[in-house]
């Protein structure tokens, strides 16, 4: 059975993911260090992990396997989940795959090096848009269908 895992800290598409999971009858885990309200939806489980580096990532990576879908912006977490056969989406709907994760890890490391070299450097990611939300919903539907084929096949 396909399970949906959400790296919930700062995830802008939790509500959309819950609607899709409910429509498909999927168990969904919202994993966070805190600050989330429990959901009355019986398909949604909120998991609070201890404070600390990567606690939510470790919880998800230990459980996500082939046939599951993970929503995260965390590239190292995505790499671990892909290594276990899970499918991974970013909140903007872009897919992370075994074919593109190496490049994404390299870009992440380069960005970290640039920030470390210039601590006064300003900037960040682009704002999250309605188009990103729409793209996410479409990508999630397609990814769930593909993950279910993984399980059935």
| pLDDT tens profile 48-102 | 999 877 899 999 999 999 999 999 989 899 999 999 999 999 999 999 998 887 6
The pLDDT, as a whole number, for residue 83 is: 94
The pTM is what?
0.86
CA dist 96 and 152 (Å) reads 22
CA dist 11 and 46 (Å) reads 14
**Domains in the chain, please, with CATH?**
3-97+134-152 (3.40.50)
What is the bridge-based pairing of β-strands 95-96 and 87-89? antiparallel
Q: Is the dihedral of CA 4, 21, 52, 75 positive or negative?
A: positive
Q: Average pLDDT, stretch 124-135? A: 85
């Amino acid at each position: 059975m396909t399970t949906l895992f959400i790296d919930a800290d700062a995830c802008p598409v939790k509500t959309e993911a819950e609607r899709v999971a409910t429509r498909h009858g999927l168990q969904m885990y919202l994993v966070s260090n805190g600050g989330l309200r429990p959901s009355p939806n019986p398909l949604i489980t909120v998991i609070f992990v201890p404070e600390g580096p990567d606690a939510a990532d470790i919880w998800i990576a230990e459980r996500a396997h082939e046939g599951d879908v993970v929503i995260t912006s965390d590239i190292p977490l995505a790499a671990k989940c892909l290594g276990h056969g899970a499918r991974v989406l970013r909140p903007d709907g872009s897919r992370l795959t075994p074919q593109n994760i190496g490049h994404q890890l390299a870009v992440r490391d380069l960005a970290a090096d640039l920030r470390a070299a210039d601590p006064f450097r300003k900037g960040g990611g682009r704002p999250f848009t309605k188009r990103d939300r729409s793209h996410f919903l479409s990508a999630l539907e397609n990814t769930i269908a593909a993950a279910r084929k993984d399980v059935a096949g």
